[in-house]
Structure 1
């Protein structure tokens, strides 16, 4: 970490390398499998499947950047150019805030489908597509300050946490941190908690039919799971990020022990945020009936047999075409 000159640097590269290595394989398998499942039942349901697809894409994109991060933290040097470094650094935040955005969209979509089923049915899947496109644009634009604040030529082959930080005045720093925290964390958290609270209240209604009660419990389980993942993965990061930023910009520089504690806390929080890419597929499995059904043994065998049959037919057509060409 880049702290003040009077404080020894805290070397956490091995911690990052080990954590990202642990996340890589299950995150890659889980999100690839999730995309396959969502593609299979996309026409069967209207319950936020478009948002789940986008969430899986965001998580998978983050996972695919982990090998470069692991390489850097193992070797301690970046040999792939400044442009690729800044792109990977930028995509880290894009994928994280895209995950936050789509977790909120999933919670709101399930809540609206539950509370206002007839109104929600009027908003077809194309509405979710437009909302997703708008979300990606907003996230990509909103995350631009992250690489801009860290783009500073220092003549060293450094990247990620070792990137230098632009010097900013304290009022500007506080303003940027406040806007980032309110837009990127506090507002999404409030929306998810509101959906959870309203869904809990709907369960207490005495005039609910047994079918409606079951649907409400399923919706509540998904929304609460989104809220739990949100708090575990993203709350620590958004607590530590302003503190770490002030350490890197030398606004906090008098207490060396305090700087080291903030650096370690931020490292743990950063890895918890990356852990989200492994946790989201678990959400899909335990909160979505269609996801579990698609992964059941019979459905899985049917899908594999269908794939083999399609592959065999394609090969037969290719062989027949070759034989016809020879004659």
Structure 2
């Protein structure tokens, strides 16, 4: 297929810049607030709070990388060196797949404690910490192909979406895409859907006590919300990513086809970044403790407690200085 004159290349940099600017401030505030709230009630609950903290950290790291992306897409030039460019490019995917991993962990944790409370009641918070550490290591290693397959030339001052991809033959491209889609998207999606399905079936059991029924509804609400966020934020990206990869490696040719795929990939990539703003909504609407901590009275009491603690520490420091003089 030859290039058509009606299918000129579309400059998507302004679209990226506007979208990331919209995400930046709400994402920064919401995830910082989420970490503050989780720290406050971390000792009060066993309900996947460690995984929520890690999810908030992943989202916050994603948000903190946005200013450099916004700068590049507005100016069209990268002035910070190839190393930082590839690091920021790499961290984008680390944060995205870490978010996917911890969304799965939250769903599985809620499902296991609901369906098998006695078997998993002895699982202490240290278990979640070990799972989180292993998850970060696996995600960091698995995401290494993203920067390793990109080429950066300092003289061109390009980065992110403009980085060229190393030439690969078709069998290698298909193998990489298949492994990435199965491990990074299909398997996590199937796990979340399975947890949702089993929880829905448990609601139909006639011998459930009223308290158990309420707990099951809360668990189902959280698991379904994770599934919804997963489908909205990550499904479009994983549909468009293989096609965009084949376009960049010149396996798919044709002006109009390339343009459609590039635009779809840009929209999908921004939806994936939107996840950093959506996750705090999950915490608020599916976690009673989170809403309680953000209530006016609890927020006021917490601020007063922090202020009192600071005042006492300051007074103690002043007293120690006076006694030493």
TM-score range, shorter chain: over 0.9
Cα distance, 1:154 vs. partner? 6.8
Runs (4+) of structure 1 moved beyond 6 Å? none
Question: After the TM superposition, which residues 166-315 of structure 1 pair with which residues of structure 2 at under 5 Å, given as runs?
Answer: 166-253=166-253, 255-315=254-314
Gaps of 5+ in 2: none
Q: Normalising to structure 2: TM-score of the pair?
A: 0.97
Cα contact 1:192–1:227 (8 A) shared by 2? yes
1:49-71 deviations in Å (ceiling 9; x for gaps): 10000000000000000000000
Kindly tell me the number of residue pairs found equivalent between the two proteins: 322
Q: Normalising to structure 1: TM-score of the pair?
A: 0.96
Cα contact 1:152–1:166 (8 A) shared by 2? no
Partner of 2:150: 150
1:150-187 deviations in Å (ceiling 9; x for gaps): 13437310000000110000000000000000000000
1:40-87 deviations in Å (ceiling 9; x for gaps): 111111111100000000000000000000000010000000000000
- Report SS of the residue matched to 2:188: helix
CA distance in 1, matches of 2:151, 2:211: 55
- Report SS of the residue matched to 2:167: coil
Partner of 2:100: 100
CA distance in 1, matches of 2:224, 2:155: 47
Cα distance, 1:120 vs. partner? 1.2
Cα contact 1:24–1:66 (8 A) shared by 2? yes
More divergent stretch after superposition (317-326 vs 26-35): 317-326
CA distance in 1, matches of 2:227, 2:289: 21
- Report SS of the residue matched to 2:47: coil
Cα distance, 1:8 vs. partner? 4.3
Cα distance, 1:323 vs. partner? 2.7
1:116-156 deviations in Å (ceiling 9; x for gaps): 00111121111111111110011000000000011343731
CA distance in 2, matches of 1:147, 1:8: 28
Partner of 1:34: 34
CA distance in 2, matches of 1:323, 1:202: 65
CA distance in 1, matches of 2:300, 2:168: 58
- Report SS of the residue matched to 1:46: coil
Aligned-residue Cα RMSD (Å) equals 1.4
Cα distance, 1:310 vs. partner? 1.0
CA distance in 2, matches of 1:242, 1:311: 53
Cα contact 1:110–1:219 (8 A) shared by 2? yes
Question: After the TM superposition, which residues 39-118 of structure 1 pair with which residues of structure 2 at under 5 Å, given as runs?
Answer: 39-118=39-118
- Report SS of the residue matched to 1:119: coil
CA distance in 1, matches of 2:308, 2:146: 49
Gaps of 5+ in 1: none
CA distance in 2, matches of 1:317, 1:115: 50
CA distance in 2, matches of 1:10, 1:146: 24
